[in-house]
Amino acid sequence: MIRINCPFCGPRDHSEFTYGGDASIVYPALDAPMDDWHDAIFLRENPCGMQSETWHHVNGCRMWLVVERDTMTHEIRSVRPAHQGNAAVMSAAGDKS
Amino acid sequence: MSARRQTSGGRIDREQHIRFTWDGRPMQGYPGDSLASALLAANEKVLGRSFKYHRPRGVMSAGVEESGAMVTVGSGVRRDPNVKATMQELYPGLAASGQNAWPSVRFDLGAVNGLFSRFFAAGFYYKTFMGIPPFEWFSKGTGLWMKYEKIIRRAAGMGEASRLPDPDVYDHAHAFCDLLVVGSGPAGLQAALTAAQAGFEVWLVEQDCELGGELLSRADDRLERQRVELVAELEKAGVRIMTRTTVFGLYDYGTAGLLERVTDHLAKPPAYLPRQRFWTLRARHTIVASGALERGIAFGNNDLPGVMNVSAGRSYLNRYAVLGGEQIVVATNNDSAYAAAAELAGAGARVSLLDARANIDGSLLEIAGDAGVSLHTAAAPLDATGSAAISGLEVAAASASGWRSESRIACDLLLVSGGWSPVVHLASHRGVKPVWNADNACFVTPEIGEPIQVAGSAAGIWNTDACFDSGAAAGVQAVKALGGKARAKSMPAIGGWSNPILPVYEIRDPARKTKAIVDPQHDVTADDIRLAHREGFVSVEHLKRYTTLGMATDGGKVGNIIGLALMAEALGVDIPAVGTTTFRPPYTPVAIGALKGRNVGEHFRPLRRTPMHDWNLAQGATMTMAGLWHRPWYFARAGETISEAYVRETGTTRATVGLCDVTSLGKIAVQGPDATEFLNRIYSNPFAKLPIGKARYGIMLRDDGIVMDDGTTWRLSESDYFMTTTTAHAGKVMVWLEELLQTRWPDLRVHVTSVSEQWAGSAVAGPSSRAVLEACVEDPSVMGNEVFPFMGVIETTLNGGIPCRIARISFSGEMAYEAYVPADYTGAMMDLLWNEAQKHDGCLYGLEALGAMRIEKGHVTGAELDGRVSIDDAGLGKMAAENKSFIGSAMRNRPELLREDRPRLVGIKPVDRGEKFNAGAILCAADKVSGMGEGWITAVTHSPALGHWIGLGFVSGGHQAWEGTTLVAADPVRKGNIDVEVVSPHMYDPGGERMHG
C-alpha cells in the first residue's frame, strides 16, 4: 500500500486514488500537427527510477496531483496539485505536505 | 515403546477433559493441547500420507512448518483440508481425520506408488509417458500423455476441500499504530514494552494463542516469572495485544497484512463473530521478532513417523507434558540440542545423543553427563528403520573418507537438529535479500533501509537472555526513530553458541542406498536435487520450479536450506553463491475468504439503485444488472414471458406512450463563463453556438481519435449546461473532464459537478408523449410545438410544484421527451406520469424493449462504442466539425483510421429468418470461417417490428462491401455457425420520421 500525502486531504492509501499517467507530457495545441499528437500520446520514457506522474484522488477531494515517485522503490519524493493555480495557493499558504 | 502423557507439568489444564475424534475414534485431551500433542499423547504415530509416494507421516514439528501431520478437520460445509495438527487448538467435539489415503492413513493402498518411485522423480510430469517409442515416433508424442494426465490429476493434491459455499463470514479491518512488533518471544515482549513505556502506541502481534514464543516451551521457573511479569506490564502499558494473529506480509510504507483467527479454536463460534479478520495495519515503525525455525538433516527415511525436530521434542515435553518416546536418540550438529536432551532424560526417557562434531567443550560434556545422556561424538543418523514408525536407526561415524555406516541403535523417537534458520521472510518481503552467515550456518537480514528492524532469534541471536536484550535495544532504536527519547542500548552480536556449528545438511554413505526426503510436503528427495543438477536446472529459481522444492504450504521452511546446500555441493560452490528464491507473502497460508471479506455474493461489487427502484418494483418490474446498476428489464403482466412482455412494451410505446427509467445515465453539471468553450473543445461536433434552451447530441473522442462516449448536453443558461453520458462511461467521463480542467486547461473558468444521483429521469416516448406531459405540467402551454421543438429544453414545474427539467430528445427513435426531477421527487413524478399514461393505455418499458427499439433504429451504445471504433466506423463521421479543432481532431484522420477495411457499423439479419445468433459472434467470410474474421456482432434482439432476430455489429468495409454476399456468424462456443447478411444499421424507420411526431 503506497501512502500518498494529498495536499488537500493528508496522507491516504493509494487505493483512494486512480493512477493517471506521465506528468511530463505537454499536450500540444488542439490544432497542432498529427505528429506532435502522436508523440504526446504514444511515446514514453518509462524510466527506472524517479518519474513525475499524475494521480487522481477520486475517493477524496477529486483533485489531480503530480507525484514524483521512484518506479523501483515506490518512494515518493513530492506531491503537489496538478493545477498550477492551486499549487500556487497551497505553497503560499505554506502547505504542510 | 510408546509416547505418554506425563503425570505433571505442561501448560495444560488437567481439570478439564476435551473429547474429540480422530478418524472416527473417540479420543481425549486437555485445554492447552494442540491436536498434534493430544494425538502424540495417545501414541498415534501415523497421521498422514505423503503427496506422491504415500509414505506414512507423523508429527515432525511443533509449529507452522509442520509438514507431516496434515489432517482434515471438520466435515460437510466446514471441512478444512491440509490443517497442520500442530497449529490446531483442541476444542470439544473437534473431528479430525487423515487425508490423502484410502482406506485410511494407517493402511493406505496408495503406498503402492512407492514401488514405482523411479517413475515419479522430479520433473516426471514433463517427461514420463511422452514420446513412447515406437507408437509415438511419428506424431506429436503426447497422445498417451493426454490419457494418463487425467489419472494423475485425480491422484494429485492432498486433502479434499468442500465444494459447498462457505457459510462463514470474514471481516476486513484497518488500523494505525506507531510500532508493530511481530512475535512475542523474549525479544518481542521486551521491544513492545520499551516502546509502550516511552508513550507510543504499540501493537504486539503473536500467531500463537498465548504470549511468550519460545518461552512457552521451556521448563525454567525464572523465565516463566519473567514472561508473566512482562505480559502484565504490557497490558498495563496499554499495548494492543493480538494473539492467534499472523503478520503474513510486510508491504510498502509500513503496511502490514494481519490474519486474525477469531473463532477457529472455538467449538461453537458465536454467530455474531466473523470466522477470521484480515487487518491492514499501517505502522510508522516495525520490529520483526519472528524467531527462528530449526532445520533437520537429510538422511535415509528421515520422514518416518517418530522423527521430528529437537525443539519439537522439547516443546511437547515442557508445554504439553507429552514425552514422545521411551528410547530417544537426539542427533545434532550444534549446541542447542543438549539442554533438550537433558530435559528428556530427566523426564524418564533413555536418551542417546549423536553429535556430528568430533570436538566439543566441557560444558556440553557436563550437561550430557549430569543428565545421564549417552553421548557419541562424530556420529550422525544415516538411515531410520521401521515399518510405519521408527524402531531403529543406523548410525554413521565420521571417517577420513566421509560418513560410514557404523552401528545400529533401537529407538522410538529420533530428534534431529541440523541448525537454526532465522525467520527472515517478512524482511525479505521488502525486497531485501538475506545474507549468509557462515559462522552460524544461516541466512540473516542485512540493513533494510526502511523503518524495520529485526530482533531476537530472527536476527540470529541464540541465547535467551541476549534475545531479551536485543528486544530492548530494538525498542530503543524504534523510540528514537519515532521521535521519542531513550537511552541507547547495544544490540547483542549474532550467534551465542560456545561451540561452532558444524554445517551438515545430508548424511550419505555411498556404499548404502538410502532415500532422504528434503521437502516432505512434495516428496522431493535429495536425489531429486542431484537430478535437477544433472539435467541443467541449476539456478535456484529453476531448482525450485523443476523439483517443486519449497512450493508447498510450508513455503520451503523445512527443506529450502538443505536443498540449497545440496545444489551448492553439486555445483562445487558455497551456499550464498546459489542464492535464494524470493520470499513472497503470505508467510503462512491465508484463506481467500478472509481476503475477500464481506465483498462476496451480491456484495462482490457495489450495487447501485436509482431513486426509482422501489417504485419500479412496486409496478412489477423484473430487474437486471446494467453495469453496477439495477435497472428494470421488463414489466411482465400476469402470465407473460419476457418475450411477450417486451414485445408488448415496444408495441404500446410505438402505438401510444411508454415510460422508462433512464436515471442511471451519467449527469454532469458543466458551469462557468468558459463552459461553452470547454464543451466545444471536447465534443467532436460544434457546440459554440448551441442556443440557450436547446440540447444537442454530442460525441466525445479520445486524444487518439477513437470514440470515448456519446450523450446529450442541454444548455440551461449562458454558463450552465447539463451534460448526460452513457451509463457505463459516466465515471470515466467525469474523471476525463476533471483531468482536462486541472492538468491541461487550468485557465478555463469551468466547474464540473457530478449530479448523476441528484436527478432522477424518465423517458416519455411515443405518439401520446406530449399529451401525457401536457397533463402533468402546471402550465401546459410550455409544451407547445413552437415553444418546445425537437431538441428543445425547458425548466418548468410539474403539478404539485415539482421542479422539473425536460428535453425533447429520443433514444428510442420515437417522438419522446426525457423528464428529470430532483431525486427526492422521483415517486411523485412517476405517479403523475404513470397516472396520465394509463389514461392513454400506455405502458412502462424496461431495458429489453429499449434495447429492441434502439437496435432496430441502429442507435449506438457502449456495446458499439467499445474503445476500438472511430466516429467514422460508427457511421457518425458527418457529425465531426470541419471548422474547429477539438480533442481527437488531430488524430482521427491518422492512416490507420482511414483504411478502406475499417470496421463499419452494420445491421445483421439471418439469411434464414427463423434462425438466431448471439452478440459476441464473429462475422466471417463464408470461405474463411476462422481467426479474427471480418467483424463482430455487438447486440441482438428478436425484432418486434420485423418479426425475426436482428443484430448490430461491425464488419470491415461496411455493408456496402458485402452487398449480395452471405457472411457467417461464427460462434463455436455457444451456437455454431449461422449464415447472415449485413445491411444498413437503420433497420426500422430509417428516415427518422417517427421522432418528429
The predicted model gives B257-280 an average pLDDT of 96
The Cα–Cα gap between B842 and B849 comes to: 14
Helix axis angle for B221-236 and B186-197, nearest 10°, is 30
More confident of the two residues B431 and B151: B431
Q: What is the pLDDT of residues B741-785, one digit of tens each?
A: 999 999 999 999 999 999 999 999 999 999 999 999 999 999 999
Write the DSSP symbol of residue B656: S
Cβ pair A85:B746 closer than 8 A: yes
Q: Determine what percent of chain B is predicted with pLDDT higher than 90.
A: 88
Does B894 contact A34 at a Cβ distance shorter than 8 Å? yes
Domain assignments of chain A as residue spans, ordered by start: 3-25+47-92
Q: Would you state the pLDDT for residue B997?
A: 67
**CA-CA distance, B656 to B53, in Å (whole number)?**
76
CB contacts, 8 Å: B746 with chain A: 83-85
Give B644-675 pLDDT, tens digit per residue. 999 999 999 999 999 999 999 999 999 999 99
Least confident of B88-97, B145-154, B232-241, B510-519: B145-154
Closest residue on chain A to B280 (Cα)? A1
> For residue B404, how many other CB atoms are within 10 A of its CB?
15
H helix or E strand, kind and range, residue B901: none
Please give the grid coordinates belonging to residue B700. 466525445
* Residue B758 contacts A where some CB pair is shorter than 8 Å: no
Mutate to test the interface with A, among B284, B743, B886 (most CBs of A within 10 A): B743
- Report pLDDT for B137: 67
Is A29 close to B885, i.e. CB distance below 8 A? yes
What residue has cell string 511515446?
A: A43
Residue of B657, B588, B577 lying closest to B844 (CA atoms): B657
* Chain A, nearest residue to B744 by Cα: A27
Distance CA B857, CA B638 (A): 29
> pLDDT at position B704, please?
97
Mean predicted lDDT score pLDDT of chain B: 94
DSSP, collapsed to helix, strand or coil, labels residue B343 as helix
How many CA atoms, within 13 angstroms, populate the side-chain half-sphere of residue B386? Answer: 26
For residue B885, list chain A residues with Cβ-Cβ distance below 8 A.
29-31
Contact between A63 and A15 under an 8 Å Cβ cutoff? The reply is no
Residue B302: name the closest of B383, B392, B404, B398 by CA: B383
Nearest residue, CB atoms, A30 vs list B681, B704, B738: B681
Which of B432, B742, B885, B892 is the best residue to mutate to test the A interface, defined by the most A CB atoms within 10 Å of its own CB? B742
| Dihedral over Cα of B778, B783, B787, B792: its sign | positive
Residue of B nearest to A20 (CA): B739
CATH of span A3-25+47-92: 3.30.2270.10
Position B943 scores a pLDDT of 96
Q: Which residues of B touch A83 (CB under 8 A)?
A: 741-743, 746
Torsion over CA: B171, B176, B181, B184 (sign): negative
Are residues A67 and A12 in contact, defined by beta-carbon separation less than 8 angstroms? no
Collapsing DSSP to helix, strand or coil, B824 comes out as: helix
Kindly determine whether residue A83 and residue B251, on different chains, have CB atoms separated by under 8 Å.
Answer: no
CA distance A54 to A64: 7
- Rounded to the nearest angstrom, the minimum Cα separation between A64 and chain B is 7
pLDDT at B136: 66
What is the phi/psi pair of residue B357, to 5°? -85, 145
For the segment B627-649, what is each residue's pLDDT rounded down to a tens digit?
899 999 999 999 999 999 999 99
Q: What share of chain A is helix, strand, coil (3-state, %, to 5)?
A: 20, 35, 45
**Gap between the Cα atoms of B540 and B529, Å rounded:** 11
Please state the rounded mean pLDDT for residues B616-631.
Answer: 95
Residue B444 CA from chain centroid, whole number: 29
Measure in Å the smallest separation between the Cα of A41 and chain B Cα atoms.
7
Measured between CB atoms, does B681 come within 8 Å of chain A?
yes
What gap in Å lies between CA B59 and CA B57, rounded to an integer? 7
Tell me: pLDDT of B823 over 70: yes
Task: Give B103-160 pLDDT, tens digit per residue.
Answer: 888 888 888 877 777 777 887 777 776 766 666 666 666 777 777 777 777 777 789 9
- Chain A residues whose CB is inside 8 A of the B742 CB are 63-64, 81-83, 86
Q: Check the CA dihedral B515-B500-B455-B481 and report its sign.
A: negative
Q: Summarize pLDDT for B673-697 with one digit per residue, the tens.
A: 999 999 999 999 999 999 999 999 9
**Is residue B375 classed as helix, strand or coil in its secondary structure?**
strand
CA atoms of B944 and B652, how far apart (whole Å):
11
Mapped onto helix, strand or coil, the DSSP state of residue B79 is coil
Regions in chain A scoring below 70 on pLDDT: 94-97
Phi/psi for B62 (5° steps) reads -130, 30
Report B:198-257 residues touching A (Cβ under 8 A): 251-253, 255
What is the SS3 assignment for B434-450?
CEEEHHHCEEECCCCCC
How confident is the model over B539-556, as pLDDT tens digits? 999 999 999 999 999 999
